[in-house]
Amino acid sequence: MRSAFFATVVAFALTISVNSFAQTPKEQIKAGKAEIKQGATQVKAARTDAKTVKEEVKAGTKTKEEAKTQLKADRTQAKEGKQAIHSGKVQIHEAKKAIREAKKK
């Protein structure tokens, strides 16, 4: 759970810092790739945490009620990571579109 939270904080901070300074299409592509990478890290951390929680339930160290809240948080975390991946892909697409338009002129 901690690693998913930490991954979210790091991904959010890096996304803001990279996006706020991206001006040229090439910089925008780099920012989009960084956002995709952070989103993937976030999704991976959430899935790992969910797997750990499920193993703890099987081992009997956690109750199902406790696990439900953690699994719900992990699903939310993974969903946010997927949204970050999507927005990174959109950002790359827009940058490539701008490059194509610039080549036409």
Q: What's the pTM? A: 0.73
Q: Which amino acid is at 91?
A: Q
Q: What is the pLDDT of residue 105?
A: 78
The two three-digit tokens of residue 3, written as one number: 């690693």
CB atoms within 10 A of CB 77: 23
Q: Which amino acid is at 19?
A: N
Query: What DSSP string runs through 70-93?
Result: HHHHHHHHHHHHHHHHHHHHHHHH
Q: What is the pLDDT of residue 96?
A: 94
Q: What is the pLDDT of residue 18?
A: 54
Burial class (CB in 10 A: 0-12, 13-18, 19+), 47: middle
**How confident is the prediction along the chain (105 residues), in pLDDT tens digits per residue?**
566 566 566 655 555 555 555 589 999 999 999 999 999 999 999 999 999 999 999 999 999 999 999 999 999 999 999 999 999 999 999 999 999 999 987
CA gap 67, 53 in Å, rounded: 6
